[in-house]
Amino acid sequence: MPVRDHARTIGWAALMALLLALFTVPPNASAASLTQVSGFGSNPGNLSMYSYVPDNLPSGAPLVVALHGCTQSASDYYSHSGWPKYADAYGFALVLPQTSSANNANSCFNWYQSSDYTRGQGEALSVKQMVDYAIAHYGSAPGRVYVTGLSAGGAMTAVMLADYPDVFAGGSIDSGIPAGCATDLSSGLTCEYSPVSKTPQKWGDAVRAASGGWSGPWPRVAVWHGSGDTTVNPANATESRDQWTNVWGMSQTPSSTTSLPGGTTQAVYNDISGKPAVETFTVSGMSHGLAVNPGSGADQCGTTGTYYLNYVCSSYYTAKFWGLDASSGPGSGSLPAPTGLSVTATTDTTASLSWNGVSAAASYNVYRGGTKVASTSSTSYTDTGLASGTGYHYTVAAVDSAGSVGASSSPVLATTNGYIPKCFTDNNYNHVAAGRAHQSGGYAYANGSNQNMGLYNLYLTHTLEETSDGHYVIADSGCPA
């Protein structure tokens, strides 16, 4: 029936209601989708950024960064991994970086290439810039940022955790390789097929060296691997376990072990407070891939496909380990978030905080980088033993007399005094690639100062001094650092 004749039958008002119903998204339907983001930073690693932000996500929600494996894409990982289900259920944003064949013939993240795995350079810096963008534009909590990845994405996850322990509160290395195992493609292949055996101390030293002098708190790390993996030797999971338990100063003997679905064995390594800091998940018989378990149950997720294998929902158990489910982390109690959190003073090694009291609070938990560092009955606290010239994110949560932890406050950034200048001498091309400069119209310009460094090429060399975080000036005549 033509629309005009139909209108005479049901009336114009009814017709408009019908059309409105046909073209309006129901209130309980999600309009969120995977979206590409441009302009997130200088992007020295030439990566693409995709994000998934659930509707009505409040400010201060967590953020999960998910890195795909070789031959995969952000869309592929989004569709199969199960992470969007828990982003909706638990309330957090997802960022999915994507590399391409222009960077790597197999579209792998270059976890073994020094220009990409070094803090402040290449792909590692591009991923960090995506985190900065999400915090600024989605309101993600700086102290509750997590990273996970499969295969080369798992190896890159280890890189990000080692490079930026000040950014990531936790990580999950799925069928990956320890940080610092390789320095080029040849050694990367050795790590992949014939894993390098080092002492826990040497593995831990690799993280400490990559971190830029970070002294803690360290990320809480999950390690997933199939016992039947012939692409990345399962011994890498043991080496990753050794690496992160050493960083935490813990024994390599588990505090407990548990049997999970899909023939999975979970081993837990607790910190000195008795809280899990490292967990390993060994999936019996599973070949190379990410463990998923399609279904509608709370502990089921994902869809099967190439390198997505039906055993157990790894994303569910990882999210619980990080405390992203509502019952596990800060915010499970009924007390409101403290207001007025502010930095009252800093020295080279301390940061002093204060906040407004919460009625019925018996005490307050103080979190640095998402990890609890203190419990106090006061509405002020001074954190000690910090590195100079370093930024630290803090939140505070009220605790009631029964021990239930309320909602976390909005985060604040405290930067200790005494920033130590750093100097870098390289050609203009490499300065741009490392994120110390940018290019426009065939010329290179120092980031921050915007000083003209000359033609953007391999032949002009400059010394750049980083006078504050991300601010560079030309220092060819001598660098005080």
Q: Give the span between the Cα atoms of 249 and 192, in whole angstroms.
A: 26
Structure tokens at 19: 């059309």
123, 127, 133, 138: CA torsion to nearest 10: 160
Question: What is the distance between the alpha carbons of residues 289 and 167, in angstroms, rounded to a whole number?
Answer: 27
Contacts for 214 with CB less than 8 Å, ≥ 6 apart: 165, 166, 208, 387, 390
H helices, E strands: number in the chain:
12, 26
State whether residue 479 is helix, strand or coil.
coil
What are phi and psi for residue 169, nearest 5 degrees? -80, -20
The DSSP result for 50-69, as a single string, is EEE--TTPPTT--EEEEE--
| Total residue length of the chain | 481
- Axis-axis angle for helices 152-163, 122-138 (nearest 10): 70
Q: How far apart are CA 141 and CA 139, in angstroms?
A: 6
87, β-bridge pairs: none
- Catalytic residue flag (residue 380): no
Given the residues 48, 51, 81, 151, the one annotated as active site: 151
Q: What does the alpha-carbon distance between residue 377 and residue 401 come to, in Å, rounded to a whole number?
A: 11
Residue 244 corresponds to which tokens in the numbers above? 């992160």
Query: Which residues contact residue 363 at a Cβ distance below 8 angstroms, ignoring those fewer than 6 apart?
Result: 375, 376, 377, 398, 399
Distances (CA, A) of 169 to 40, 164, 179, 321, 359: 21, 10, 16, 11, 29
Judge contact between 141 and 452, C-beta under 8 A: no
Say how many C-beta atoms besides its own lie within 10 A of residue 122's C-beta. 24
- Token pair 């936790």 is found at 170
The alpha-helical segments, DSSP class H, found in 69-184 are 74-80, 83-90, 114-117, 122-138, 152-163
Measured CA to CA in angstroms, residue 448 lies from 278, 457, 472 at distances of 38, 20, 6
User: Which residues are annotated as catalytic?
Assistant: 151
